[in-house]
Structure 1
């Protein structure tokens, strides 16, 4: 593959195709699909209804569509708009699962004091804004990719290469033990290892940028050990050691170290953050008996140059240093999950096509470069499995559009402003035409 193949400007036909497809973007259709998807609950590991719906939707669009079962309650959906076979295949991808269960006894108080409207799988329309669980991420992404393909098909653009529209479950950075330990890109990994592939890929996520580096992550569990106590025992009684108080000291030490980890491992496009995400100790219904163990859970993001083994070694070194300075801390640790980061060569066709698409939809100004991020997505796994991939996106809904009651925290990623998706859809259409109306040789594929 010749990565340095010069990028050609659109010729007159391609310009006409681009304008024709953009003219066929249907905002009402986009909003309707966005709302239909919100109404289909698809927590990680239970995505079957949403994926079956999208397989049927793509079939009705005129694509050759398939529901790909993984187990009885989950599966993926993909559709193919065939070219004449002389051009490259392009995959447009988004996950389809949501990050919370939307069940009060499961989610409260961890999501906040209540399940807000943006955390419930019930769509509301407030003018051109859609409210509901996953309305923006991932349901708005699924709808936007689908609308881009719909517009291209409606415009009757003659494609040389196939256009693949793909959606998978298990995309959230979670693990759900009760549903086959689904998550951590399990759905898209299954999809790609069972025959769904392409020459290039585009994943749609929040932020209207162009990313060729894709963060990975490592999860750690730290267990601070003490002894089972009783609240009636005086402090300092021999044979009783708190696990909770030393754990608090350890948390503060780790919190002081994590920004240094980020600084040390910042790469071209990634500033890998680390967060202490959960702490667990003892029996809430038995506060008279302080626990002999306190568990601390961390998520540490990685850049593509870091191996997961090197992160494990670095974390072990900092833990040993902390313990050497605080002998009251008796702890052990383990890495519980790891997804390596990945990278597409920035000179690859699909990266440069995405940059040109961004320029086209921003008045012709050159793409200035992406701000560093740390958000882990299925892109890491897709690219690691050999598909050159670019992450593009849409503006995260701004203060001017966000209803005030949803401004606190991440929420249900559940506020989608339809006008904010139109420009990114045009950028997607640009890359579709830029790639799928050319020969394989034109895009550097021998």
Structure 2
């Protein structure tokens, strides 16, 4: 078949699929997904619902169980002899939906948007994870339904992957199977690919109205600040070194240093940020004493020009000078790491996604710079699957003028944006084969 003939056939197939991509289908998908809690480590119920929903429509789907509480859902639409494509979305939420676990970490007091209950106001859906990740997962789900309902054969196999453990998180106390410590940091994506679902290419759906071909990695570092365990009544009688106060000074110095770190390591589309995210130490039951040590946890992002090991050495070098300045012992060790990854911009999956994006947006694609968000795209690329990332813009304002902070932004989605993202995915499915042919011919 000529390229023109293939394009005519693809355009016809796209229109048939789009006819089945209704607002009602998208809305039903996101409402159902928001209403099923899926904290990191406890996604099994949602995975079961997704698989059941697809199977009931005649789609080949299964629950891919990791343990009793954590699972992926995976579906396959069998296509022609073209390259296979994974449409991937994580399904675990940033917070848990349990006030006892989320307050005051995510908000000072409980709010409706933190609850796993979808509330629809016109085109806006609000509820835990409505925007990230469930709105994006609902788009993948609706696309699979539309492809199947249209009765068209895609150029190659299309796999829908709904992955557990996509958040950068260690195990959450009280969530999931006891004893599991590796419930986040892309565990579901890795498990999915190693258990039979590796494809030629992948598109991951995560927030951002752009197409990305590379992402920062991350390294988590625990910085331990030493002091002296002592008693308040003896402060004036024996040597005194309060690790809490010293840790505060270290935290402030690190926050200042991290601003410079980001600019110094800026590369390509990435400007790797870092934060001091938490502090632990001391005996809450015994306010009369100071702790022997306090630990700060850092999240530092890194580019494809860095490795977790080089970042750790850089942090240690900075802390060595600070330790001498403050006169206290400070040490650092890495506790989690995922490298940054890159898919060449001329990869067929990036080219197909960009062309689909331009068709839907009606304007040339502009590469967004200064990115510092990491997703399961890194896990997919590390497993050898060239991956593009595309998503929806976050809801920027509400009709009632109520504020939207980071957490609420995760919990809002606009159904109109879901429609646009779904069309991008559908067009990508039918553009990929021709882009792959062109790459091979070149």
**What is the TM-score when the length of structure 1 is the normalising length?**
0.92
**1:8 Cα deviation from its structure 2 partner:** 7.8
Query: Partners of 1:130 and 1:416 in 2: how far apart?
Result: 5
Query: Partners of 2:4 and 2:373 in 1: how far apart?
Result: 32
Out of 113, 121, 124, the residue aligned to residue 126 of structure 1 is: 121
**CA-to-aligned-CA distance 1:85-139 (integer Å, 9 cap, x gap):** x111010000011122222222211112222111111222222221111111111
Partner SS for 1:71: coil
C-alpha RMSD of the superposition: 2.1
Say which structure, 1 or 2, has more relative contact order (CA 8 Å, 6+ apart).
Answer: 1
Unmatched segments (≥5 aa) in structure 1: 1-6
Partner SS for 2:300: strand
What is the aligned partner in structure 1 of residue 149 from structure 2? 154
Out of 402, 411, 416, the residue aligned to residue 413 of structure 2 is: 416
Query: Partners of 2:108 and 2:366 in 1: how far apart?
Result: 41
Change (3 A) 1:362 1:177: closer
Unmatched segments (≥5 aa) in structure 2: none
**1:395 Cα deviation from its structure 2 partner:** 1.1
Out of 373, 376, 391, the residue aligned to residue 374 of structure 2 is: 376
Query: Partners of 2:97 and 2:4 in 1: how far apart?
Result: 48
Contact kept in structure 2, 1:119 and 1:412, CA below 8 Å: no
Contact kept in structure 2, 1:87 and 1:439, CA below 8 Å: no
Change (3 A) 1:280 1:445: farther
**1:412 Cα deviation from its structure 2 partner:** 7.3
Query: Partners of 1:42 and 1:292 in 2: how far apart?
Result: 38
**1:283 Cα deviation from its structure 2 partner:** 2.5
Contact kept in structure 2, 1:349 and 1:444, CA below 8 Å: no
**1:320 Cα deviation from its structure 2 partner:** 1.1
Contact kept in structure 2, 1:118 and 1:133, CA below 8 Å: yes
Out of 104, 113, 120, the residue aligned to residue 108 of structure 2 is: 113
Contact kept in structure 2, 1:118 and 1:412, CA below 8 Å: no
Query: Partners of 2:204 and 2:190 in 1: how far apart?
Result: 14
Contact kept in structure 1, 2:308 and 2:339, CA below 8 Å: yes
What is the 5 A alignment of 1:47-446? 47-84=43-80, 86-176=81-171, 178=173, 179=177, 180-181=180-181, 182-235=183-236, 237-327=237-327, 329-363=328-362, 365-400=363-398, 404-405=401-402, 407-411=404-408, 413-435=410-432, 438=434, 441-442=437-438, 444=440
**CA-to-aligned-CA distance 1:259-286 (integer Å, 9 cap, x gap):** 1111121121111100010112312332
Q: Which runs of 4+ in 1 moved over 3 A?
A: 7-10, 403-406, 438-443
Partner SS for 2:159: strand
Query: Partners of 2:155 and 2:415 in 1: how far apart?
Result: 31
**CA-to-aligned-CA distance 1:412-437 (integer Å, 9 cap, x gap):** 7211111121111111111011125x
Change (3 A) 1:65 1:116: same
Contact kept in structure 1, 2:186 and 2:379, CA below 8 Å: yes
Q: Which has the higher helix share?
A: 2
